[in-house]
Amino acid sequence: MGKRLKKLIQTFPGPKEKDEVASEVSKGHPRGAALVAAAFLDIYLEFLIKLSLVPLRDEETMGLFGPDRPLGTFSSRIKIAQALGIFGRKTAHDLNIMREIRNAFAHGIRKMNFNTPEVKELLMSLHCLADIENYRSLSSRKLFLEVTAMLLTHIAVKREKATRPRPLTEPFCPHLD
């Protein structure tokens, strides 16, 4: 992927563009909705993890978060965020379910939508459903959108509480940092 395109897709949209993208997710094809919703979750999660790390130079960041790097996938980001205590098992479970749904839409060649029994079964296994009033009365698509919004909000709240660790000021070995 070209550097400019990579930078473009990793940049947060402004409020107007975010509203336009949200409209695409809510009204567009289910396949596109699943991909874009998961991309939002993935990018927000990457940002949250970066806030939990000491400041890194650009090349160090790419060495961790770039393609084929240790934190270059949605799956690896979920694992490290849970391991760092950014969130717990239930949030990790729900993010993994959203990742699985994204992967099914991204890699599947079968006709699917949010009412496909296998997709609906995954949606119904989410822990955060307990926080959605009357979730059983919602369409599968509406439920997917509500869950995405809830998880994005949950990550955003975690982001507000995140603090960067400070490097040690008095190292054990004076010649090491």
Could you tell me the pTM of the whole model? 0.87
Q: How many C-beta atoms surround the C-beta of residue 155 within 10 A?
A: 22
Rounded to whole angstroms, the Cα distance separating 92 from 142 reads 21
- pLDDT of 166 > 70? The answer is no
Per residue in 38-64, pLDDT tens? Answer: 999 999 999 999 988 989 999 999 999
Mean pLDDT of 90-109: 97
Per residue in 105-156, pLDDT tens? Answer: 999 999 999 999 999 999 999 999 999 999 999 999 999 999 999 999 999 8
CATH number of 15-161: 1.20.120.330
Q: Give the start-to-end residue ranges of the domains of the chain.
A: 15-161
Please give the angle made by the CA atoms of 57, 63 and 69, to the nearest 5 degrees. Answer: 155
